[in-house]
Amino acid sequence: MPRNAAAPQPAPDADGLRRRVRDLLDAHDPATTPREEFLRARFDAGLAWVHFPEGLGGLGAPRSLQRVVDTELETAGAPDNDPRRIGIGLGMAAPTILRYGTEEQKERFLRPLWTGEEVWCQLFSEPGAGSDLAALATRAVREDGTGDWVVDGQKVWTSSAHIARWAILIARTDPDQPKHRGITYFLCDMTDPGVEVRPLRQITGEAEFNEVFLTGVRIPDSHRLGEIGDGWKVAQTTLNNERVAIGGGGIPREGGMIGKAAATWRERPELRTHDLHQRLLGLWVEAEAGRLAAIRLGQQLATGQPGPEGVAMKLGFARLAQEISGLEVELLADEGLTYQDWTMVRPQHVDFTGRDAGYRYLRAKGNSIEGGTSEVLLNIVAERVLGLPGEPRTDKDVPWKELAR
């Protein structure tokens, strides 16, 4: 250590974090401080995500202590950052930027991402590259002279693209390489010329998802994340965190789907049958086991990056959501066939529990597709967790440009 360098300060414990929260509240009364100003001050105090480094919204403390901060601020009536609206930024973009971004990128993007001033979306899937994401065809060509990248292609199933300022984007930069090795990861400004967002109307009637067309979109090389050609490796960090964000969220007992089904059972005794009771009990036990597993996963995340455990959580979440929503529709009988709000809206976030049973049943169909299809995730569990032989892949070492599409 240089002679004049300050010694690193130890990460605060729970009591230290409570003192920091009190200092924040004394300096920025939530009752009188504008929301964005309070959130910026919270970030600058290291109380946004305590496990992040100092200066980037954190204090280098254990991830498990975040709950201490959140509880203290919630009790004081402090505003949150509306995490459902900015879930892609929090759960996918931020950990990827933290791991692979330059210092300039971290300082530029993490603060407005966390405060919600800049919403993020994910430009990964394409019409011909969904389950086989590495087959993507969107091209990024580097321009002589400026060093900028010019991107052309189409992305699909993009949540929040209609409200996003920024996107995490993977594009093919070397078609002569095999499909996994010729990809580069970028940060794309959704307000730039050449970015067109079109709604995709879903079975729910909403357009929560979008398709995005990229025509001659210029991205400066300073918005490249990771090395050229390392996009697939960088994307794995995003995908692993995405699966945790979808399937590994901590909720209270009887939270989420199972809570709505259990409440209907208790409040409507005239609807009960023995068969439905047995099924509800079984799903309740599975939901509780999943909740406890999510807590365990959170403890594991405190020691490192998410691995294939998040894949298993996401698989279980998708299956349970579909089975529970189906049971709720059956329990409600004729009422379960009604859907009160089949309207064309472009929501800012998904609300499973605040809607009727018909909405939950229809929306849950997407749970086994988003974040990686269940079939692909089963392959990941089989190969990376159980060590089973991989499926035959004839295209593994073939240049992308020679693949049939």
DSSP conformation class of 89: I
DSSP conformation class of 381: I
List the catalytic residue out of 206, 211, 242, 309.
242
Q: Tell which residue, 287, 272, 169, 259, has the closest CA to residue 223.
A: 169
36 assigned to active site = no
200: which residues sit within 8 A by CB, 6+ positions away? 156, 157, 207, 209, 210, 211
DSSP conformation class of 53: P
Amino acid identity at 383: E
Long-range contact set of residues 93-96: C-beta below 8 Å, sequence gap at least 24: 93/120, 93/122, 93/166, 93/168, 93/238, 94/49, 95/237, 95/238, 95/241, 95/305, 96/168, 96/185, 96/225, 96/234, 96/237, 96/238, 96/241
- Structure token digits, residue 280: 């509800």
Catalytic residues: 242
